[in-house]
Structures are given as structure tokens and as C-alpha cells.
Chain A
Amino acid sequence: MNVCVLYSGGKDSNLALLKAHEEFEVSCLVTLSPKSEESSIFHYPNTELVKLQAESLGIPLIMETCSDDEESSLKALYNALRKAKELYSVEGVVTGAIRSTYQATRFQRICDDLELWCFNPLWLRDEISILNEALERGFEIIFVRVAGLDRSMLGKRLNEEIVQKFAKMRSYLNPAGEGGEYETLVLNMPLFKKRIKILEFEIIGGEFDATLIVKRAELV
């Protein structure tokens, strides 16, 4: 089966991609690029870097821009998946959804409308086990947005120490950041042919609500 992966460039969609690659032919990546960070469904920071990731993966990328509201996001997703179906004969969609029934419901409905299979290989996974698996599989992950965590996390590489810290905080923090507590960027993983090197970046925002904007990056 040819599948596409809903790809944000973060840890979850990259792990979902790796699992999809083990069973199916990943024909393309689909990324929505919200105009602002208010989008409730898709990641915002550094969506431009997804182009570098796609290049490193050697997988075609379909990128659609969408407005902040839900209707626009879902319409853009529908259009992007329809393109994936038409251009790459995709029969299924793979997502990195973990626990949000809001998100899963919308993905499932759009896939059904387009007569596409929907796969959610991280669904209901323990969030700490996802972080551990990504590290065990050699992912190089950095934090690019925090909302509720200290901005000093930005640019830091996810490691076992941070995973243990998140495990202790899990009574008030979703360890996978699914509540928007943080977002990540994958600089390297087993399917990348080259890793991403960040050459220049800027941090904007306050002490506990900040974003790392990558200004220049290259594949090395």
C-alpha cells in the first residue's frame, strides 16, 4: 500500500513515519502550514524546515497553507490529502495522533470522505514510552516551542534526563507535549540521509511562552 504521512517535522510524526516505512511505501509527506500559532490541529513553528527534512528523507512533500480557524485547517487537510491521492496513488494516511479524540475524529472523518485508510500507530501509547523509543531509535530531537515550560528548554536536545524529568511532572504536564506544552524538531532520525544543522536562530516570546525560529539551516 502507498501511504502518506501527516508530517509536522516533530518527534511524533517522525516516529509514525518510521513505523509506516516498516510496513508500507511512504509515497509522500503532507504538511499544513498554519499562518499563525493559533491553529488547534497543526504544529506551527518552523514548518519551513519540513522542506529540508523531506529533502533529507528523499520523500516528496505536499505543503498547504491554512488560516487559523478549524474550518480552514480541515479544508486545507482535505485538499492536501486529495492531492496525495491523485499525485501519488496514496491509499492510506499515517498520523502521529496519540490521545486527542478531537484530532483523531477529524482525521478519521476526512480519510473516510476520501476513501483512505487511516493509521495512528502511536494511538493511546504511554507518552514516556514514545520519548524513550525515539531516543532508542537514534532520533536527534530539539525543543522549538514551549508554553508553560521554561524558555531555557528551547534548542536543548531531548535526552534521558529530560525524559525522567517529564515523567516526574506527568501529573500536570503531558509528557509528549500533546497539550501544547512544547513542540519539537527532529534534526536526525534513521531515515534521514543527512542531518539538519542549524546555522542561525532567534528566540522570541516570554519566559514561559517562547518559540525558537530557525533562520538558516542546512543538511550536512
Chain B
Amino acid sequence: MLNTIDQIFIKAKQIILDILSPFLPEWMMILISIFIVIVTLCVFGPVVMMYLTLLERKFIGRMQNRYGPNRCGIFGLLQPLSDGIKMFTKEDIVPQKADPFAHFLGPITVIIPSLLVFSVIPFGRNMIPSDLSIGILFFFAVASTSTLWIFTAAWGSRNKFSLLGGMRAVAQMVSYEIPMLLSIVPALLVVGSFSTVAIVNAQEGLQWFVFTPWGLVGFILFFLTGVAEVNRCPFDLPEGESEIIAGFHTEYSGMKFALFYMAEYMNAFSVSALVTTVYLGGWQGPILPSWLWFFAKTFVLISIMMWFRGTFPRMRVDQLMGFAWRGLLPLAFINLLAAALWVHLSFPLNDILSFCILTVSVLMIYVANRKVAPKKRIYKYAYE
């Protein structure tokens, strides 16, 4: 029974294929089997995005002592749909001096990476669109291209604020890409494979990586850099309303604007999904079906992102860069070292040693980054 629920989506796909198989040639069946997965993902992404916006509005509303949207349908469940209709019917404004091609290309292409990365995420046991042997590498390679399209959109708008936002996006992505990749390397080192399925299989039976010293640090590093990578608060400098209007999407309206939003929320989902996969054991978990475990963990991480958004003010550019280069990057390197020691030593020693190394290094990084206020100079003879 449990096994049936666990594999319910696989079974559903198999039933559809069984119905069609007498009528179609074999090569067609392969195409249809691929097609089903693609359609599911392309529907799943936008639907998740729509309901994440609702969840976020409700969540932040409660933090600000008000109800979120609750007028449209029960609990406001139809709100995303009505927002979608509104976005479709809005006028699409292209500035006179904008580069029409780049202005059009930006929002269309920015959602492609966010949809593509879903293909390597294991949503449950046997539930992965394509088990690439270089899954993690594919994820990062594809996800980082979204920066290019953000910059295309910003450049094509021919607006100072858009361009500033786009440049900030690029600077931020470049700085955070390095600690992000380095924070995931320890997990790859321990598992010995780039495949997401192999990583999840290595965390069988509550042996989640987050319960080891290097895993905890790696999880925090990866989550923070992930938040920065998808431009969410408090790292949402590219669209800082108080400084540069709306950043790279200043000149966008209607459905093009909605596409940027869609990309942002789908990125938030996919990064949370990857953090879950790598450090929180993916779909591994007792009793409940595997896909339920996966979505529960992912939504907890997304809620934490929303919690951050409800709490923190936006960082300054220098704080943002300092945090990445002086805090996260050295810690990521030391974490790699700790993980390497953890792999090579035996049980009680490895945990203790890596824990000690990480504690000392966190303290040292903290001390090294402490703000030193210079003594106030007193000018003795200046006014005499």
C-alpha cells in the first residue's frame, strides 16, 4: 500500500503509456514518455510559482499583523489565477529607445534555465526526469546562465536604473557562485558522484549530511548563497526598490514582468530543492511517501526564505560583497578540508576533529571580520 502511494506518479505515467502502446510504434512511445515528463514539469513550475506567491503574501502578511489575500476564493486560493488574468490583460509597454529584440528576449529566455534545472532534481524515489551522471554540474551550469538574460533585459531596456540593477545582478552572481559551488563540493567528495540520485542514495536512513559537522556548515553556506543566487531578500540588490526603482525589470509590464517573477520563484523553488537533495537527504525519510518528504523539506526551506524576507532589510553593496568574499569563501574552503578529514578518519575521531576545525575557523573568521572602529582623533593644535 505504502509502496503504491510512494510510486503513484510513476504508476500513472505507466498506465498512460500502457493505454497508448497498442496504437503507436515504439519510437513514438519513447517520445511520448519523454513528452509526458516535459509537460508535467512545464505545468508544475508555473503552478508552484503561482502558489508560492500566494504563500509568501500570506506568510508575510501574518508577520506584519494582517491577513494576506483572502477575498478571492476560499483562503484566497484563486488569487494567483486572478493575478495571472490581470497580467495577461495588461498593456505591454516597450520604451521608445529600448532595443526591442533584447527587451523581448530577456524575459522569455530567463525562465528557460529555471525550467531546465528541474530535470535533474529527484522529486521522489525513481521520480527524476533524467538521471544525469553530471546532475549537479548541469544544475549549476544552467542556473548560472539566467544572469546573462537578466543582464540582457537590463541592457535592452535602455534605462539607467535597469542597467545598474543588471550590473548589480552580475556582480552578485559572480561573487556568490564561487562559495556556492565550494559549499557543495564536500558532499560530492563524500559521495564520489555528481549524480543527484547517488547523493540522495548515500543519505539512506536518516544519515542526512546535515547531521555531520561539515554538513551543517555546508548546509548553511549553501542555503545562504542560494538565497543570494536567486536574488531574494536580504540579497535582492538587483531590484532594490528604494535605490533603483525596480532594478532590471523597471521597464517591464504585463506578462513580461510576470515572467521575471515566475523565474524568480521557480529559481527559489529549485535552489531549495537542491539544498534538500544535497544536505537534507532529498526524498529519504521514514513512513511517509518519498515525494511528500521531498516537498515538505523543500517548502520548509522556502518558508525560511520568506521568513528572511519578512525580517531583514536589504544589505548594502559592500556588505554583500564582504559577506561573500571574507566570510563565506574562506569558510567554504575550510569546510572542504574538514570534509576531506572526515572521510579519511574513522568514526569518533572524524566527527570530533572536523567539529573542532570548523568551530575554531568560524571563530577566527568572526574575529578577523570584526569591525574595528578607529579611535577618534583629537586635534590638539589645529585651532590654536
Q: Tell me, yes or no, whether A binds B.
A: no
Interface residues of A (CB under 8 A from B): none
Interface residues of B (CB under 8 A from A): none
